[in-house]
Amino acid sequence: MKVTEVKVIYSDKEKLHHPQYEWNFGKLVPYPEKNIRAQIIRDEVIERGMGDLVRDAKTFPLSHLKAVTSP
């Protein structure tokens, strides 16, 4: 079996993401995620000795997103 490393992309800006609601199948519902989730995952990866997989998030131009998505 081939094992592939998965990078963990993390930014402290994640702490700022805390919407109260989201649209789900046309209905406005309470947002199920907590902004601390990403930090907990990052901390667990580091605690298990795999901190070298954690990478800082980078900012890319909008053109990068448009290149891999369709309208």
Q: Give the global pTM.
A: 0.61
| Residue 38: burial class (beta carbons within 10 Å; 0-12, 13-18, 19+) | buried
In a domain, 2, yes or no: no
In a domain, 3, yes or no: no
Section 10-30 average pLDDT: 90
Q: Is 7 a residue whose pLDDT tops 90?
A: no
Predicted confidence band of residue 4 (pLDDT cuts 50, 70, 90): confident
Residue 24 parent element (H or E): strand 21-24
- pLDDT tens, residue by residue, 21-60: 999 999 999 998 887 888 898 999 999 999 898 888 887 8
In a domain, 26, yes or no: yes
Give the number of domains in the chain: 1
In a domain, 38, yes or no: yes
Predicted confidence band of residue 17 (pLDDT cuts 50, 70, 90): confident
In a domain, 14, yes or no: yes
> 62: domain range?
8-68
In a domain, 55, yes or no: yes
Which pLDDT belongs to residue 27?
96
In a domain, 1, yes or no: no
- For 17, phi then psi, to 5°, come to -90, 100
